[in-house]
Chains A and B, each alone.
Chain A
Amino acid sequence: MAALKEKRTCGQRCEDFGRFVWNSDNGTSFGRTPEKWVYISLYYAAFYVVMTGLFSLAIWTLMYTLDPYTPDYQDRLPSPGVMVWPDKYDEEHIVITYNSSDKASWSKMSSCLHNFLGQYNDTLQKDCDHNCTKGKYFMQDKFLPGTHTKESCSFSVSQLGNCSGLHDPTFGYNSDMPCVIIKMNRIINYRPSQNNTQDIQVNCTVLEGVENVKKIEYFPENALMDRSYFPYYGKLAQPDYLNPLVAVRISLTGKRSAKFQCRVVADKITYENIHDPYEGKVVFTLQNLHVPSKPSSVHHHSSAL
């Protein structure tokens, strides 16, 4: 025991380790002879092959039981999230800051929106609106014959009116009237309201800096997300589905900075979850860094137009 208790010096430890790596007395390396190493490696190889096989079998069984159209559970998606574009963040919060007098600055915003709206290009979408009845949930119990898909109502950019980018490719970012676009996340088989009568509407309120907001306009009219876009039937059933959007044009004034909360209002959409700030609503700050003297602002504005 005494020898075990002696504090070994570093040299002795290294020597011991050296002997462990290669012991010439009994021809062992790392505690085993090469032959023994082969055996143990084979054993472990076999063990892991079998285990991987069992694991693959388990995953295969799992995949076999899954329905490709709808997920088994949607426990974590009780209510859809809402997001605003341009999706510009500072550290934690959405802060859409631009300088209307600096082209490099505002074109970032407008190109972001162009990007975002790219998929909504009217020409890309098939015309399949014949079954879409505005104001009613588009319930489809059966798949379309042949393609085994379901129809989706098209959403064209033109519905966003002044914020469609069709007339004003800057989306107002070269002025004090920028557009932001609100999108609600899609969830399979989700209907935002109990019945067919209540509207699904976007409602933006100013949280801070009311005095800096002159006007809030919504596109389409009444800030509606039409019920015919719901429910969503999944990627496989509705490969062409596009979320309905609502554009909000905000007229800034004064210090040209304000904080907004845009909510999608419907009775089944919750928005007060403190752990998920994007559930049913989105909060963002809009700020135009350019605060000009009055005449130059007018001049600038008119020249841009």
Chain B
Amino acid sequence: MTQKDNYDMFEMDGDGKGKKSKKEKKKERLEGMKKEMDIDDHEITIEELEMRYDTSIKKGLTSSFASQVLERDGPNALRPPKGTPEYVKFARQLAGGLQCLMWVAASICFIAFGIELARGNLASFDNLYLAITLISVVVVTGCFGYYQEFKSTNIIASFKNLVPQQALVIRDGQKNQINAVDLVVGDLVEIKGGDGVPADIRIIFAQGCKVDNSSLTGESEPQSKTPECTHENPLETRNIAFFSTTCLEGVANGIVINTGDRTIIGRIASLASGVGNEKTPIAIEIEHFVDIIASLAIAFGFTFFVVAMFIGYEFLEAMIFFMAIVVAYVPEGLLATVTVCLSLTAKRLARKNCVVKNLEAVETLGSTSVICSDKTGTLTQNRMTVAHLWFDNHVHAADTTEDQSGQSFDQSSETWRALARIAGLCNRAVFRPDQEGLPVPRRLVVGDASETALLKFTELTIGNIMVYRDRFNKVVEVPFNSTNKFQLSVHELEDPMDLRYLLVMKGAPERILERCSTILIKGQELPMDEHFKESFQTAQMDLGGLGERVLGFCYVYLNEKEFPRGYNFDSDEMNFTTSDLCFAGLISMIDPPRATVPDAVMKCRTAGIRVVMVTGDHPITARAIAANVGIISEGSETVEDIAIRKRIPVEQVNKSDARACVINGGQLKDMSSEDLDEALRSHPEMVFARTSPQQKLIIVESCQRLGSIVAVTGDGVNDSPALKKADIGIAMGIAGSDAAKNAADMILLDDNFASIVTGVEQGRLIFDNLKKSIAYTLTKNIPELTPYLIYITVSVPLPLGCITILFIELATDIYPSVSLAYEKAESDIMNLKPRNPRRDRLVNEALAAYSYFQIGAIQSFAGFTDYFSAMAQEGWYPLMCVGLRAHWENVHLQDMQDSYGQEWTFGQRLYQQYTCYTVFFVSIEICQISDVLIRKTRRLSVFQQGFFRNKVLVSAIVFQLLLGNLLCYCPGMPNIFNFMPIRVQWWFVPVPYGILIFVYDEIRKLGVRRNPGSWWDKELYY
């Protein structure tokens, strides 16, 4: 119970009325979707069906009519989700929060330029340059971001299966192989084991047909298909096979009732495209940050507008000042920094097989507080595997790992040999040819899931099962059917002298038991007594309780006299012994969890992330897997468990005592959204079973309503709406369907759930590091702004020019700010709770205040010290500078006297002004070196973090200095970019301030570390 706080889900207060109506609309839409699924093609008779689709169950459609229908309905393919047009994708890159800020700034610049132009001030092109630069920054970073996304989209696209599906169709009474795309409603098609179902089909004839629906519902158990209508719900009935599922075995004929987007799968896919894309948490953070910047800028601008008016500037002039200040607040370099930092992380993730479709999603995993995971294919291998065996009155565990690296059981018992022989012989599954090179678990098999599991199991334990089968010549076989619930076959023995026949049988355990009179224990046939029956029951219950599918195995040697060689076995009549058999054992199978999953789930828990299982599979299986991978932890009980333990009715159990909760789709249907919220709140360990795609969506919405940032993992089409709705959808790269990949934001190329943990770690790291980068980038805004403020109010010659500022923002300081993205985490971020999206902001007040009004202020003082030094040493005393502006900027004044009486032309003064720009630039650079060092950590001392551990940062500092020197001393710079070759000593004037910044920040960090929760911590920790 103590851990419950970990799952405290940052509740939000107050549901607005506007919100409710929106929700209602959504509900209506979902309801509509459900209604649409109400088709009755499975309920009507074959004749009605023929009438409805103008077809014949013998001859199929006529070719000419089929082509007419094709023209009417369009091809039988899922319309690719309305792919966002490329230009819209590009436009989106230009319309983020920061981008908007820069667009506004650029237009302000244009307005200011226009005003200046109208006033006849032709000399000032700064505003124009600034506007052009702002726009190019937005466009260039937009192109960069677009390129990044384009690249990852390409990686994903390369995974698409490009082989066109074929379908066997009967038209004009002729069988034809055609592309599935050309199928139309009313077509008569034939499917057999191994085929994909080419459209939604009403079955009219079936023989042993089993279909794997896992891509649609997540059920790993194959569903048998028969012509009878068994359920009014089209999804449950046996006589409809759905598009995109696969037929595992048997054959079936059917009439196509829906094609393309009108199929069930098409509707789910379109449900996904109907779900709006959520804003990423980082986008919200950036918007919040833009709000802070914009309000500060306007407040500052307005203050100085008033000051300027008060000093006696004209209205228009004051207006231009106002605009200039607002624009100066725009951190031009930040957009590039954020984009590059995110794409660096995206690259790092891609190396670990996580491909991110949308750059911003990189951070989302770091903020994630709930992961809703699909079971089949995500947590599990989507491959039935033998998990346990029961023989010799003991349960033995088989190796279920993907690479067969686990422990195996003792195989010395005679009983085991008998059991393995039955499993190997009473099995119709075969390997596809030409797969000798592949490891057994990866080989393709024709046959249903459990037979496949047994085939692979025996192949691994006995070896070369196909040859083994050949040695035991099969005489007769009775396939599995739902009434017998068993399967048997009769074989000749491999020893040619032994003329007995061997009958092997497998099936539902209780049916097998009924037919047995003896049981094999350590190779001895013992009579089946109550004791054995009881232990059989316990074993069966135990294994079933683990969510495993249990099969019983038995055999008998047929009496040589009664059944001599050449006896005519009849599979329909079953003219041979099928009772008083010898029971060999039980084998149970499960779709086992992936090896890396339990560890990954554990890590998620330590990181304070709740893992919720949402699956289409049965509750028992779901629960077993959940317990297996740690989603339901050891010792956690559901309400039902408590009820059983305490022997009281379920209603009397205190719900808050139950940590775990398993809810199935049926229960979910009857729950209001408040009930669901309540359930999610009160049970930290949740499993949702038998859920429909819509319900997955509802669960995700409910988590989001509770304030969580939700990640959804999934692979099937049925997951795609939830993937889209989630804050971050994660699809499986290998097993995932295209629909899932399309809807997802991130794709795990190796299908490894553990990669998510890496994603979380990287996401959290980038959030911390972005904070540092932003703090670093924001700081210099103040020393860039104060010169202008002093220029307006005190009328000194302008200390820092626009072009110089752009060089700081977009050239020298970009690399250091990006290098902070390479900073290691300060503490073990995977042991912290996910950030609270309401409290732990990317940019908070403390960060802005500390950067702007403390470090930024020190930098400004450094700049002005250097500025006044350069002015004084060239002949202009500080006090003389005050009020100098009007004369200084007078283009017509060519003999202005300095403090020493020397006379300066305008040109000479201008170069002196450029000298000032340069020394101010140098001051900011020197202070920024100190700044980047202090930003390495927010809490730890830089000495604890290691000065030179971040090699990129060190090289960034070197780069910054080299570039600064190049700008200062490259010939031609004065007239192109207004940089002057300044005296070397002016580089050293700001150094004491740099040291001051470093020492001050160390003191701040010391205070924060020593006194957590104190006033100091609250005000100065960002």
Contact = CB atoms under 8 A, between A and B. Distances in A.
A74 B861 contact: no
B917 interface: no
A83 interface: yes
A58 B865 contact: yes
Interface stretch (B683-691, B795-803, B905-913): B905-913
B872 interface: yes
A24 to B, nearest CB: 16
Interface string B883-905: 00000000110110111111111
B895 A235 contact: no
B837 interface: yes
B858 interface: yes
Given A1-B709, A241-B901, A279 B907 contact: yes
A104 interface: no
B904 A81 contact: yes
Contacts of B592: none
Query: Which one of A44, A76, A80, A232 has the highest number of Cβ atoms from chain B below 10 Å of its Cβ?
Result: A76
A185 B905 contact: yes
Interface string A1-18: 111111001001000000
A65 B710 CA distance: 64
Interface string B826-862: 0000000000011000000100000001100110010
A87 B892 CA distance: 8
B158 interface: no
A39 B1014 CA distance: 13
Interface string A95-136: 000000000000000000000000000000000000000000
A51 B858 contact: yes
Interface in A255-289: 273, 275-279, 282
Nearest to A243: B903
Interface string B696-719: 000001001101111000000000
B517 interface: no
Given A3-B12, A59-B878, A70-B900, A76 B915 contact: yes
B410 interface: no
Contact of A89 (B707, B838, B892, B992): B892
Given A89-B892, A185-B903, A63 B911 contact: no
A71 B902 contact: yes
B873 interface: yes
A87 B906 CA distance: 14
Contacts of A39: 1015
A2 B701 CA distance: 8
Interface string A45-70: 00110010011001100110010011
A141 interface: no
Contacts of A47: 854, 857
A75 B878 contact: no
Interface in A202-232: 232
Contacts of B996: 54
B153 interface: no
A249 interface: no
B194 interface: no
B1002 to A, nearest CB: 16
B495 interface: no
A66 B899 CA distance: 12
B902 A1 contact: no
B868 A62 contact: yes
Contacts of A76: 874, 904, 908-909, 911-912, 915
B284 interface: yes
B861 A235 contact: no
A238 B900 CA distance: 10
Contacts of A40: 1019
A237 to B, nearest CB: 9
Given A63-B872, A185-B904, A2 B894 contact: no
Interface in B971-1022: 975, 983, 992, 996, 1015, 1019
A187 interface: yes
Interface residues of A, number: 59
A279 B895 CA distance: 11
B892 A187 contact: no
Contact of B727 (A1, A55, A80, A89): A1
Contact of B877 (A44, A63, A80, A187): A63
Contact of B903 (A1, A54, A187): A187
A80 B18 contact: no
Contacts of A77: 875, 902, 904, 908
B975 A4 contact: no
B72 interface: no
Given A48-B857, A55-B861, A275-B975, A74 B904 contact: no
B279 interface: yes
Among B19, B701, B892: residue with most chain A CB under 10 A: B892
Interface in B710-749: 710, 727
A74 B875 CA distance: 8
A62 B868 CA distance: 9
Nearest to B283: A5
Contacts of A1: 12, 281, 704, 707-710, 727, 837
A188 B895 contact: no
Given A4-B837, A12-B16, A75-B915, A81 B894 contact: yes
B114 to A, nearest CB: 19
A3 B707 contact: yes
Contact of B861 (A54, A81, A183): A54
A73 B878 contact: no
B869 interface: yes
A276 B901 contact: no
Interface string B196-235: 0000000000000000000000000000000000000000
A150 interface: no
A77 B701 CA distance: 72
Contacts of A12: 16
Nearest to A282: B894
A183 B873 contact: no
A173 B364 CA distance: 80
Nearest to A71: B875
A27 interface: no
Given A73-B983, A76-B911, A66 B904 contact: no
B278 interface: yes
B878 A63 contact: yes
A2 B904 contact: no
A191 interface: no
Contacts of B901: 186, 188, 232, 234-236, 238, 241
A277 B901 CA distance: 22
Contacts of B322: none
Nearest to A241: B901
A46 to B, nearest CB: 12
B835 to A, nearest CB: 12
Contact of B902 (A48, A55, A92, A186): A186
20 contacts: A1-B727, A2-B707, A6-B16, A6-B19, A9-B18, A47-B857, A62-B868, A66-B872, A66-B873, A70-B900, A74-B874, A75-B874, A81-B903, A185-B904, A243-B903, A275-B975, A278-B906, A278-B907, A279-B905, A279-B908
Interface of A: 1-6, 9, 12, 31, 36, 39-40, 43-44, 47-48, 51, 54-55, 58-59, 62-63, 66, 69-77, 80-83, 87, 89, 92, 183, 185-188, 232, 234-236, 238, 241, 243, 273, 275-279, 282
Interface of B: 12-14, 16, 18-19, 278-279, 281, 284, 701, 704-705, 707-710, 727, 837-838, 845, 853-854, 857-858, 861, 864-865, 868-869, 872-875, 877-878, 891-892, 894-895, 897-909, 911-912, 915, 975, 983, 992, 996, 1015, 1019
Q: Which 9 A-B pairs have the closest CB atoms?
A: A276-B907, A235-B901, A81-B905, A185-B903, A3-B12, A72-B873, A71-B875, A278-B905, A83-B894
Given A3-B707, A51-B857, 10 more contacts: A1-B837, A3-B12, A4-B838, A9-B18, A59-B868, A73-B874, A74-B874, A81-B894, A81-B907, A276-B906
